């Protein structure tokens, strides 16, 4: 075991999901969730979600080779199957989100009330990823 202190982490900066049909995925994330792209090209779109938090959508299979940029090389990565991520929402917006999903024809797959008092709504994006809207109280640090 190392006795050297672990340097601090500042949070999760990026979360990546891999999609089969970028126009379909963009329509969902932009129309249903109201996200606005800050970077986009043929293989990815980056959405600012909150201060210091970015959601990356990559076209599945488009990141299997290293990408050389002027500042260095981004290693290859990819993902398959249904993944999961959660968006933090204020408790007072939970029902407004449930209504918004309903208006867009997005079924709520599950609603969970957590022991610490938070509530989560689970639903799917067009690629089958399990998305969650979670109010404070889900985790000890949220």
Confidence (pLDDT) at 58: 97
Distances (CA, A) of 65 to 57, 71, 75, 122: 17, 17, 7, 33
Confidence (pLDDT) at 3: 84
Q: Which residues pair with 110 in a beta bridge?
A: 122
Distance between CA 12 and CA 88 in Å, rounded? 13
CB of 56 closer than 8 Å to CB of 49: no
- What is the three-state SS of 66-112? CEEECCEEECCCCCCCCCEEEEECCHHHHHHHHHHHHHCCCCCCEEE
Q: Which residues pair with 132 in a beta bridge?
A: 86, 122
Which residue is associated with the tokens 């990815």? 44
For the chain, which residues score pLDDT lower than 70? 1-2
Confidence (pLDDT) at 133: 98
Confidence (pLDDT) at 64: 94
Model confidence pTM above 0.85: yes
- The domain segmentation of the chain, as residue ranges, is 14-61+82-134
> What's domain 14-61+82-134's superfamily in CATH?
2,3-Dihydroxybiphenyl 1,2-Dioxygenase, domain 1 (3.10.180.10)
């Amino acid at each position: 075991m190392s006795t050297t202190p672990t340097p601090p982490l500042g949070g999760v900066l990026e979360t990546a999901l891999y999609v089969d049909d970028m126009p379909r995925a963009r329509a969902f994330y932009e129309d249903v969730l109201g996200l606005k792209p800050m970077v986009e090209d043929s293989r990815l779109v980056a959405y600012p979600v909150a201060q210091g938090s970015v959601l990356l959508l990559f076209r599945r299979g488009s990141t299997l080779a290293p990408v050389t940029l002027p500042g260095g090389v981004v290693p290859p990565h990819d993902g398959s199957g249904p993944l999961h991520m959660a968006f933090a929402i204020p408790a007072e917006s939970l029902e407004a989100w449930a209504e918004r999903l309903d208006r867009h024809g997005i079924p709520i797959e599950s609603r969970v009330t957590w022991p610490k008092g938070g509530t989560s709504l689970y639903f799917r994006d067009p690629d089958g990823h399990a998305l969650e809207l979670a109010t404070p109280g889900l985790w000890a640090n949220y």
